[in-house]
Amino acid sequence: MTIAEWPEALIEWPESLPSPLYPHDQEYVSGLESPEEILWPYRTRKRPDLEDSVEFVFTAAQMLTFRTFFHDTLNNGSNPFSADWLTLLDEDTGFVRFGGAYQATLLGYHWRVTARLELIAVE
C-alpha cells in the first residue's frame, strides 16, 4: 500500500505552523523487523527508518495550535502525520510521528520547541 492509497488515514501538519529549522540531526535506523520477529515470509516495516531531532520556533498563537495538534489531534504525539516539509528532510514517500514528548522553551515572545521525529518510509 502506498501513501497515495490511504491519504484520509494520515493527519496533515497544520498550514499555520512553520517547518522545522536547520540544521537537524538525522540518525538512520533499520525499519525492518529482525529475522527472529518475522511471522510472515516477507519482512515488514514497523519501526522508523530515520530518527530526526528537529527544532521549531513558534509565536504564542502557533504554540497553542501546536499543543492542540500534538495533544488532541495526534493523541499526545502517537499518531502518524504527513507534512509538506518532509521533502526538506529528504523523505517524501512516507510519514512521520513524534518519538516522545517535546521540549518547549520561551524565548522572549517566541517558543523554541525541540522534538524527536520518527520517519517511516512507504514503498
Instruction: Give the pLDDT confidence score for residue 106 in this predicted structure.
Output: 96
pLDDT digits (tens, 9 = 90+) for 5-16: 544 568 999 999
With a cut of 60, say whether residue 116 has pLDDT above it: yes
Please indicate, yes or no, if residue 84 is contained in any of the structural domains.
yes
Contact (CB, 8 A) for 84 and 43:
no
pLDDT digits (tens, 9 = 90+) for 79-109: 888 888 877 666 556 788 898 899 999 999 9
With a cut of 60, say whether residue 50 has pLDDT above it: yes
Residue 53 — very low, low, confident or very high, per pLDDT cuts 50/70/90? confident
Residue 41 — very low, low, confident or very high, per pLDDT cuts 50/70/90? very low
Cell 502506498, residue located: 2
Q: Provide the residue range defining the domain that includes 111.
A: 3-7+17-121
Per-residue pLDDT, averaged over 105-123, amounts to 86
- Distance, in Å, from the CA atom of 84 to the CA atom of 88, rounded to the nearest integer, reads 8
Cell triple for 87: 521533502
Instruction: Give the pLDDT confidence score for residue 8 in this predicted structure.
Output: 56
Please indicate, yes or no, if residue 78 is contained in any of the structural domains.
yes
**Domain count along the chain:** 1
Please indicate, yes or no, if residue 82 is contained in any of the structural domains.
yes
Q: Over pLDDT 90: what percentage of the chain?
A: 37
With a cut of 90, say whether residue 35 has pLDDT above it: no
Cell triple for 11: 493527519
Please indicate, yes or no, if residue 99 is contained in any of the structural domains.
yes
Please indicate, yes or no, if residue 12 is contained in any of the structural domains.
no
* Peptide bond preceding 35 in cis form (omega within 30 of 0): no
Burial category of 66 from C-beta neighbours within 10 Å (exposed 0-12, middle 13-18, buried 19 and up): buried
Instruction: Give the pLDDT confidence score for residue 93 in this predicted structure.
Output: 61
